[in-house]
A and B are shown apart, each in its own frame.
Chain A
């Protein structure tokens, strides 16, 4: 469904695509009680949203309907309109992907990939990538605490916080790199490279309703892409 929402957000013309997708995502998130998580994602995207709005508001090529005049430049109505539409598409895309992350149990995802015959290395990469986010946040927290205990000031104005980025980024990145070798050895010590198929400890349920929804989404994606390519969607 997330794939369909992403395609719809960008392929359907005007406000229709992004608004339908946003409505679908917010309804699903409310039902799954994940609105708080989406709010966090929206907050994280706010610098990008702000810059898109500003650039389009003042610098949209060919816009000639000024809202006001501020010296050599001026905000335009069409810039504002285009900026808002772009932001709506961006948010529809981000929140659809974010909702997948918030509502999918990693072990279910990995078990399902294994059931579909995806190789164990590919499955491990997916799992490790998803788990990397919380583990990196945890590691960053430990390093910030360690730097604070050595006198680094990480509170206060943004320029003061910015000074703490380098002492944080270095240990996070290099720590992760040195961990790679140990993780590789640990995996080999657990027969990760054994030939043949992995035993599936459990098979996630895949009821008929899920299968029908999945195939309907794939069909809808194909229809939207074809309609867009043939110019029927404008």
Chain B
């Protein structure tokens, strides 16, 4: 049981260069894999490949193997992929259907598409609302939510399809610190409660440091660094266009000032 990418190379339709080159990755249920990198490093493309939308929906050429629980994504239909691997886009506004009057109905959009019994649809919607912690938003108009709330509704909408894996493409990119905290807490809770495997693409490395079990840093479509969350303290991170977590920056400043960095100091500053 896992999503496995093996030697993946992907080129968009009409593009001369590959957006991903020789990327390998394994995501098991209950694990959180963080992905970061500079702009244009291939993060969003990796999300589309993981969720099977590339090349299934947007075309292009895929070499290598992308398997979800042992089945090649190219052998599955988009609605089958949606039930195995949910994808959350950066922009919540384009992810919502725009055809529903309440958040409840918006989250029910996916399960309704599957033609599930109404009792199951209702049960899934309340479950997704609870997991993400937005039950009070259920009767609200999805068009009148804040950025953070909209992103959480989009997240609940994906969860309601009960995928075993989730791919989240910069879910906090348009959010202020309060919204980022809101989403990060929801993600941490979700990872614990659902046992889903999560790929979290983020520029905000503080979020990754907090919840990722493993981190990949991409550069020009290839994996430049990988390993445990300790990778986020690698000095090469800045060269790759990634800002290290605040704690790492702080540690650097403290050491540069000639002060010894002790676990006790780290705990106090946290």
- Asked if A185 is an interface residue, CB under 8 A from chain B, the answer is yes
- Asked if A187 is an interface residue, CB under 8 A from chain B, the answer is yes
A131 to B100, CA, bound (A): 10
Binary flags per residue of A93-133, CB closer than 8 Å to B gives 1, else 0: 00000000000011100100000000010011001100100
Docked-complex contact B48 and A185, CB < 8 angstroms: yes
A134 to B158, CA, bound (A): 25
Whether A192 contacts B113 in the complex (CB less than 8 A), given A107-B105, A182-B91, comes out as yes
Residue from A128, A188, A195, A199 within 8 A of B99 (CB atoms): A128
Q: How far is the CB of B68 from chain A (nearest CB, A)?
A: 14
A136 to B112, CA, bound (A): 27
Docked-complex contact B112 and A189, CB < 8 angstroms: no
Docked-complex contact B82 and A188, CB < 8 angstroms: yes
Docked-complex contact B82 and A124, CB < 8 angstroms: no
Whether A201 contacts B110 in the complex (CB less than 8 A), given A182-B89, A185-B48, A190-B97, comes out as no
Of all chain A residues, the one with the shortest Cβ separation from B77 is: A193
A6 to B91, CA, bound (A): 41
- Asked if A162 is an interface residue, CB under 8 A from chain B, the answer is no
Docked-complex contact B83 and A191, CB < 8 angstroms: yes
Docked-complex contact A198 and B112, CB < 8 angstroms: yes
Q: Which secondary structure dominates where chain A touches chain B? A: helix
Residue from B58, B78, B112, B143 within 8 A of A181 (CB atoms): B58
Chain B residues, Cβ within 8 Å of A135 = 98
Docked-complex contact A189 and B51, CB < 8 angstroms: yes
- Asked if A177 is an interface residue, CB under 8 A from chain B, the answer is no
How many residues on the B side are at the interface (Cβ–Cβ under 8 A)? 38
Of all chain A residues, the one with the shortest Cβ separation from B82 is: A191
A190 to B157, CA, bound (A): 8
- Asked if A184 is an interface residue, CB under 8 A from chain B, the answer is yes
Whether A189 contacts B111 in the complex (CB less than 8 A), given A199-B118, A201-B105, comes out as no
Number of A-B contacts (CB under 8 A): 100
Near B by CB (< 8 A), chain A positions 4-19 give none
Q: How far is the CB of B74 from chain A (nearest CB, A)?
A: 14
Docked-complex contact A190 and B109, CB < 8 angstroms: yes
Q: How far is the CB of B83 from chain A (nearest CB, A)?
A: 7
Of all chain B residues, the one with the shortest Cβ separation from A128 is: B98
- Asked if B75 is an interface residue, CB under 8 A from chain A, the answer is no
Binary flags per residue of B53-77, CB closer than 8 Å to A gives 1, else 0: 1000110000000000000000001
Residue from A110, A183, A196 within 8 A of B94 (CB atoms): A183
Whether A187 contacts B86 in the complex (CB less than 8 A), given A194-B79, A199-B112, comes out as no
Chain B residues, Cβ within 8 Å of A190 = 82, 97, 109-110, 113, 157-158, 161
Binary flags per residue of A65-91, CB closer than 8 Å to B gives 1, else 0: 000000000000000000000000000
Q: How far is the CB of A199 from chain B (nearest CB, A)?
A: 4
- Asked if A186 is an interface residue, CB under 8 A from chain B, the answer is yes
Of all chain B residues, the one with the shortest Cβ separation from A198 is: B112
Chain B residues, Cβ within 8 Å of A183 = 94
Near B by CB (< 8 A), chain A positions 144-175 give none
Docked-complex contact A194 and B115, CB < 8 angstroms: yes
Docked-complex contact B158 and A194, CB < 8 angstroms: no
- Asked if B164 is an interface residue, CB under 8 A from chain A, the answer is no
Whether A189 contacts B115 in the complex (CB less than 8 A), given A106-B101, A128-B98, A201-B105, comes out as no
- Asked if A197 is an interface residue, CB under 8 A from chain B, the answer is yes
Q: How far is the CB of B151 from chain A (nearest CB, A)?
A: 13
| Residue of A179, A191, A195 ringed by the most chain B CB atoms within 10 A | A191
Near A by CB (< 8 A), chain B positions 176-211 give none
Whether A107 contacts B100 in the complex (CB less than 8 A), given A179-B94, A198-B113, comes out as yes
Binary flags per residue of B135-176, CB closer than 8 Å to A gives 1, else 0: 000000001000000000000011001000000000000000
A45 to B143, CA, bound (A): 28
Q: How far is the CB of A136 from chain B (nearest CB, A)?
A: 12
Q: How far is the CB of A124 from chain B (nearest CB, A)?
A: 6
Chain B residues, Cβ within 8 Å of A110 = 99
Q: Which residues of B contact A (CB under 8 A)?
A: 48, 51, 53, 57-58, 77-79, 82-83, 86-87, 89, 91, 94-95, 97-101, 105, 108-118, 121, 143, 157-158, 161
Q: Which residues of A contact B (CB under 8 A)?
A: 105-107, 110, 120, 123-124, 127-128, 131, 134-135, 179, 181-201
27 contacts between A and B (CB under 8 A): A106-B101, A124-B97, A127-B99, A128-B98, A131-B99, A135-B98, A182-B94, A182-B95, A183-B94, A185-B58, A186-B89, A187-B97, A189-B78, A189-B89, A189-B95, A190-B97, A191-B79, A191-B110, A192-B79, A193-B77, A194-B114, A196-B115, A197-B115, A199-B108, A199-B111, A199-B115, A199-B118
